[in-house]
Amino acid sequence: MRVTQLRLYPVKSLGGSDVESARVEPWGIEGDRRWGLVDPSGEKVTARDEHSLLRLRAEQVDEETIRIHDGEESILVDIPLGLPPVPVSHSRQGFAVPADQDVSEWISDHIGRPLRLVWQEDPSVRRVSGAHGGLEGDTLSLADAGPLLMTTEVSLARLQEWMAEQDDAPPEPLSMVRFRPNVVIDGDEPFAEDGWPTVRIGDLGFRTAEVCDRCVMTTIDPVTLATGKEPIRTLSQHRRWDGKTWFGTRLVPMGEGEIRVGDEVAPG
């Protein structure tokens, strides 16, 4: 098995970009989801509720700078220095440092509501919840529940087969981007990754924290922003337990290092 795609999301709930290699830190891929959006009261705002966030994409320029763009206009965002942190509601985070005001105004104008971009200064303070497979010392970025998300092409292919059996099957295959993974591998058997306690990617080991529960985000077309029933409808018929639907696995790094597209993948 091999890595076929690596994807980085510098800003939580904005579109991301493919990369050929990525450095893995204890809390996830370097630069992944270190930025997030909040409303004027500090409540987090995600694409679950504000679908238009997916119209914006973020990409890493260098260690200190990201670019946010809508396909035509863009703005450079530097890590904020010397600004006091503000309260935020991101679970187990508490505080984050705001970006420059002009950046937040640019985003607010494009989304159509007041928003503030904030940066997670210290990811070591946000713990992975024990309810999501976290152990003592596990930390994460502003990602929902785990440092990295891995999906497999064979599992998506099986899901597509199930969807094709529906009377009103979608005319186009679902893009893996709907599931917002960091790591995509080709895989061996569909959903075999559910039972891997550990997995080695290249020279780096990872522990499987849990199978990933899926939400309404997967029903939003990342290009048109149209919403539909899939894939939640089909997952609920084949992959439903504990009142949730499941696809992909959340991984916790067991060390630091670099992973690359093409790396060999071996379950533990």
Same domain, 149 and 169: yes
Same domain, 106 and 223: no
Say if residue 233's pLDDT is above 90: yes
Render pLDDT for 112-127 as a digit per residue (tens, 0 to 9): 999 999 999 999 999 9
- Residues 222, 178 contacting (CB under 8 angstroms): yes
Same domain, 16 and 64: no
Same domain, 91 and 154: no
Same domain, 12 and 132: yes
Of 102, 119, 136, the residue that ends a domain is 119
Same domain, 262 and 140: yes
Render pLDDT for 41-94 as a digit per residue (tens, 0 to 9): 999 999 999 999 999 999 999 989 999 999 899 999 999 987 889 888 876 678
* C-alpha separations of 150 from 55, 138, 155, 172, 224 in Å: 23, 17, 11, 23, 24
CATH number at residue 211: 2.40.33.20
**pLDDT at res. 92:** 65
Q: Which pTM does this prediction carry?
A: 0.94
Same domain, 12 and 98: no
What is the number of structural domains in the chain? 2
The range of the structural domain enclosing residue 177 comes to 2-27+127-267
**pLDDT at res. 24:** 98
Same domain, 153 and 235: yes
Of 100, 119, 138, the residue that ends a domain is 119
Question: What tokens appear for 67 in the block?
Answer: 């670019």
Say if residue 6's pLDDT is above 80: yes
Interstrand relation of 148-152 and 183-185 (parallel, antiparallel or unpaired)? parallel
Same domain, 225 and 248: yes
Render pLDDT for 140-175 as a digit per residue (tens, 0 to 9): 999 999 999 999 999 999 999 999 998 787 778 899
Same domain, 95 and 150: no
Same domain, 67 and 93: yes
Same domain, 253 and 145: yes
Of 57, 86, 119, the residue that ends a domain is 119
